[in-house]
Structure 1
């Protein structure tokens, strides 16, 4: 089994952390595209495009071409959802990791070192109501399957228990199936869903909200 070390974020990790997060999120674009294609409303829209284009041009070929263009647009939109999320994170909390996650009380940002590189990351911040939020979990593709995400999840849960929090909460997207399995395996349960934007609604792209009750919280 490969060895790794969990440690607190340091200033020299800045670029590695930002690149790791951006790559991890953009990897979900193909899954988001496939998920959108399975939505009934999207399939009906593609059928309507085909029928309208064929009727207007009187050609099956042009009808199929219109559908192909619509699929390209759908792919661009799926990438846009991921890119917008990355842009927002890199311009806010991941622009100032110490100010967001190290200096405020009960906040932390951990990275995992494996084979001399930053291979994974996770953060934790108070969410109110005696809850701690797990955020920015990401594991490099080259280092997956080594238990890094599970170890980081346990680190956050232990941190929350040590500081008297009653629960840990988090959000993930519906296409991040591996993440959902990880969290559920660590005791999290799904407590809600939402569409974060009109574009996400049109693509049937939901965010899922999870909670892990720790018991005995005193916050």
Structure 2
């Protein structure tokens, strides 16, 4: 098993980090597509579509063709949903990582390095939820390269965030992950996170029956009162 080390992000990691993030998100596209197709709403729509086209055209083959077109359109929608999220992130905080995470207060960005390559990443920053600011920090951008998973890297990266928040006197760490990222959910729950809510990221997300899960980990024995 290859060894690794966790260190703070450097500017020379820029391209590797952005590529790792994009690949990590896009690999869940197929799982998202399967989730949509398993939803009762999607099955009903496909059934109705088949029946209507079959009745109107008089040929069951045309009904199947209409369903096939609907399946292809759904795949394109799910793929667009994933790529849009990636593009948004790459043009926002991951556009200037040093400014977003190394120069901002109570923020940081770490990478896991193995064999001279970046194989994992995680960040921490002030939460997007105004109600959590000054009370908690937010774990963000967790990703580990596929061929380096199941080696404890994700757990170690998560531990860096928890220690960072505790050392600065925060009482909790919060995060959000998608419903199809099952392995990530297991990791976080194993590290003491509990699910505290769900939301839909957009109207398209609602139509695709796609949800975001929100997690929180309360930190015992914090060093000081949270900053204001």
TM-score, normalised via structure 2 length: 0.94
Cα deviation code 1:58-114 (max 9, x no counterpart): 110010010001001111111111111101100000000011000011110000001
User: Which range moved further: 50-59 or 102-111?
Assistant: 50-59
Question: 1:15 Cα shift?
Answer: 0.5
Question: 181, 186, 199: which is aligned to 2:186?
Answer: 181
Q: Which runs of 4 or more aligned residues in structure 1 lie more than 6 Å from their structure 2 counterparts after TM superposition? A: none
Give the aligned partner of residue 6 of structure 1: 6
Cα deviation code 1:1-39 (max 9, x no counterpart): 421010111111111000000000000000000000111
Give the aligned partner of residue 218 of structure 1: 225
In the alignment, structure 2 segments of 5+ residues that lack a partner are 128-132
Give the aligned partner of residue 160 of structure 2: 155
Give the aligned partner of residue 39 of structure 2: 39
In the alignment, the residues of structure 1 paired with residue 87 and residue 66 of structure 2 have an alpha-carbon distance, to the nearest angstrom, of: 31
Question: 1:129 Cα shift?
Answer: 3.7
Question: 1:159 Cα shift?
Answer: 0.6
Q: Secondary structure at the match of 1:94?
A: coil
In the alignment, structure 1 segments of 5+ residues that lack a partner are none
In the alignment, the residues of structure 2 paired with residue 2 and residue 191 of structure 1 have an alpha-carbon distance, to the nearest angstrom, of: 36
In the alignment, the residues of structure 1 paired with residue 172 and residue 75 of structure 2 have an alpha-carbon distance, to the nearest angstrom, of: 37
Contact conserved, 2:175 with 2:216, CA < 8 A, in 1? yes
Contact conserved, 2:134 with 2:170, CA < 8 A, in 1? no
Give the aligned partner of residue 109 of structure 1: 109
TM alignment of 1:11-90, pairs within 5 A: 11-90=11-90
Cα RMSD (Å): 0.9
In the alignment, the residues of structure 2 paired with residue 96 and residue 52 of structure 1 have an alpha-carbon distance, to the nearest angstrom, of: 51
User: Which range moved further: 76-85 or 169-178?
Assistant: 76-85
Q: Secondary structure at the match of 2:94?
A: helix
Aligned length: 219
Cα deviation code 1:125-181 (max 9, x no counterpart): 022041000000001111111111010000100111111110000000000000000
